[in-house]
């Protein structure tokens, strides 16, 4: 039974006023369970043929039918479903998400297909067992060798029981020993799936494939069966499942993938956290200015000092009437600058993640799902920023409430020093959690000071991140995976 049928397929590339006709009326029937090797010199059209079969590239005319599904007549949603259900990709450059664990990389097609995280990871672990890498499930791709990364890519290509595995020079970045290992694995997989491989190595093609197709100048000049069909799967047409990832899957996935380089942009996050901390603390001081003045500015209001030095009196009056307003204006400006800086950083990060976005599209993610994924992404970073903000705010609030009683140290009253620390810490925590005034402390920070600010910043981040993410998801990023 034909799993793939191609009729009179044409594909051209246009560069300015020049048009290059790459595929010139290709006709092919590929049976289920074949291991097909596509050979040809550079520029012969072999990679273009693979990219068109994979739906990474559109074709000019002709038809492609995958398991009864006419690709040419399918809308974007149906093409996404075809990719997710039928096509597994094995790229020369692996195209794994580097900041995500191996098991989550493999589980990605299932997650995009709406499978719950627990089940997706279980199936991903089983796929890793098939390629001999179950012990590396929790590591990240950069920690693996090239051969191991390619095995992870193969596991990802089979995890959703995809019927067709498309391999673009899968051994091109590997040494001969590792290449033989990978080809042996693909040969084993061809017992239950259809493997279509573009390669420049004719010896490997003859040894491992059971059908060789030779292209010259966009035409098939040779189509030879070289081995026995050892297909062991059930030949049946699969019902196409047009499923979506779902909001909960995208939310969880947003916490796993596409991390921002914290070493590179850590200063931006720390500056933002400190700015938010100062804003909160200054607001608290402004609400208790009389207490702050009595405790920390008392030197300026002592009559004997103020009477002798009119300058000190003027400074005090100015501080009392204007300083908190001025500081809050400065902090508003600083926070605004931090938000703009963060969005700039996040936009740069999204641009740097174009290839990962292309991989998500290749495994069936829609533009809307990618837009939602990046809109949800700031939740993790906003939580991280406010976690640091809470720590800084708690420390400053303790100091503001006199947690360190140096007079007790001077008088060697260590018991009172310790009791004061316990009381101030307890009062600060209780005041924050219960949103009330506590007698042990004078400066109170409540959760109602934090939550509105958190949601305001989160909303600005989500809106600001959605705009570049949606623009990039609408662009033809998947074209990056289709080398000519």
Highest mean pLDDT among 5-9, 241-245, 307-311: 5-9
The residues near 78 (Cβ < 8 Å, ≥ 6 apart) are: 69, 240, 242
**If we measure between CA atoms, which residue out of 120, 96, 89 comes closest to residue 107?**
120
All domains of the chain in start order, with CATH: 2-243 (3.40.50.300), 262-401+442-481 (no CATH)
pLDDT band at residue 7 under the 50/70/90 scheme: very high
First CA to last CA distance, the chain: 30
User: How distant is the alpha carbon of residue 100 from its chain centre?
Assistant: 8
Query: What is the model's pLDDT at position 401?
Result: 86
Q: Which three-class secondary structure state does DSSP give residue 110?
A: helix
Structure tokens that stand for 294 in this block: 């009595």
Q: What is the pLDDT of residues 394-408, one digit of tens each?
A: 998 888 888 887 777
pLDDT band at residue 420 under the 50/70/90 scheme: confident
Structure tokens that stand for 168 in this block: 């673009």
Q: What is the pLDDT of residues 256-288, one digit of tens each?
A: 865 665 666 667 778 778 888 888 887 787 777
Query: What is the model's pLDDT at position 270?
Result: 80
Beta strands in 16-140 (DSSP E): 18-31, 35-39, 61-66, 69-70, 87-90
Least confident span in 28-32, 74-78, 287-291, 403-407 = 287-291
pLDDT, mean of residues 411-437: 84
Query: What is the model's pLDDT at position 96?
Result: 87
Q: Is the pLDDT of residue 479 over 80?
A: no
The residues near 127 (Cβ < 8 Å, ≥ 6 apart) are: 106, 155, 156, 158, 159
The residues near 479 (Cβ < 8 Å, ≥ 6 apart) are: 56, 57, 358
Number of residues that make up the chain: 484
pTM for this model (two decimals): 0.77
Least confident span in 162-166, 306-310, 369-373 = 306-310
Higher per-residue pLDDT: 288 or 482? 288
């Amino acid at each position: 039974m034909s799993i793939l049928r191609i009729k009179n397929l044409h594909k051209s590339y246009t560069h300015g006023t020049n048009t290059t006709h790459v595929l010139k009326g290709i006709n092919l029937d590929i049976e289920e369970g074949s291991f097909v090797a596509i050979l040809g010199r550079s520029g012969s059209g072999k990679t273009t043929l693979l990219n068109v079969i994979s739906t990474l590239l559109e074709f000019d005319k002709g038809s492609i039918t995958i398991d009864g599904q006419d690709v040419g007549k399918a809308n974007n949603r149906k093409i996404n479903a075809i990719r997710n259900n039928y096509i597994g990709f094995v790229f020369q450059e692996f195209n794994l998400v580097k900041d995500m664990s191996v098991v989550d990389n493999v589980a990605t097609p299932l997650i995009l297909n709406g499978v719950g995280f627990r089940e997706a990871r279980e199936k991903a672990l089983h796929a890793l067992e098939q390629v001999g890498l179950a012990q590396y499930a929790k590591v990240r791709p950069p920690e693996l060798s090239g051969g191991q990364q390619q095995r992870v890519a193969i596991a990802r290509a089979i995890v959703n029981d995809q019927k067709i595995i498309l391999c673009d020079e899968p051994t091109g970045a590997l040494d001969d020993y590792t290449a033989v290992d990978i080809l042996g694995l693909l040969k084993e997989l061809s017992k239950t799936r259809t493997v279509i491989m573009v390669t420049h190595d004719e010896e490997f093609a003859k040894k491992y494939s059971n059908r060789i197709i030779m292209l010259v100048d966009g035409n098939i000049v040779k189509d030879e069966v070289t081995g026995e069909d050892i297909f062991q799967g059930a030949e049946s047409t699969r019902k196409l499942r047009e499923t979506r990832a779902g909001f909960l899957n995208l939310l969880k996935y947003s916490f796993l993938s596409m991390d921002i380089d914290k070493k590179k942009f850590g200063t931006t996050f720390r500056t933002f956290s400190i700015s938010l901390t100062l804003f909160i603390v200054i607001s608290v001081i402004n609400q208790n200015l009389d207490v702050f003045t009595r405790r920390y500015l008392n030197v300026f209001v002592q009559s004997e000092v103020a009477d002798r030095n009119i300058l000190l009196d003027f400074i005090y009056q100015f501080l009392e009437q204007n300083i908190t307003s001025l500081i809050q204006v400065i902090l508003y400006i600083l926070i605004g600058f931090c938000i703009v800086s963060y969005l700039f950083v996040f936009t740069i990060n999204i641009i740097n993640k174009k290839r990962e976005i292309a991989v998500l599209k290749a495994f069936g993610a829609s533009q809307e799902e990618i837009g939602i994924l990046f809109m949800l992404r700031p939740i993790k970073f906003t939580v991280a920023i406010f976690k640091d903000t809470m720590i800084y705010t708690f420390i400053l609030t303790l100091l503001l409430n006199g947690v360190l009683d140096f007079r007790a140290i001077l008088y060697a009253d260590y018991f009172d020093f310790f009791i004061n620390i316990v009381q101030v810490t307890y009062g600060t925590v209780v005041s924050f959690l219960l949103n009330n005034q506590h007698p042990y402390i004078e400066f109170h920070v409540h959760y109602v000071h934090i939550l509105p600010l958190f949601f305001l910043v989160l909303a600005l981040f989500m809106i600001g991140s959605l705009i570049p993410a949606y623009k990039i998801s609408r662009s033809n990023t998947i074209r990056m995976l289709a080398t000519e």
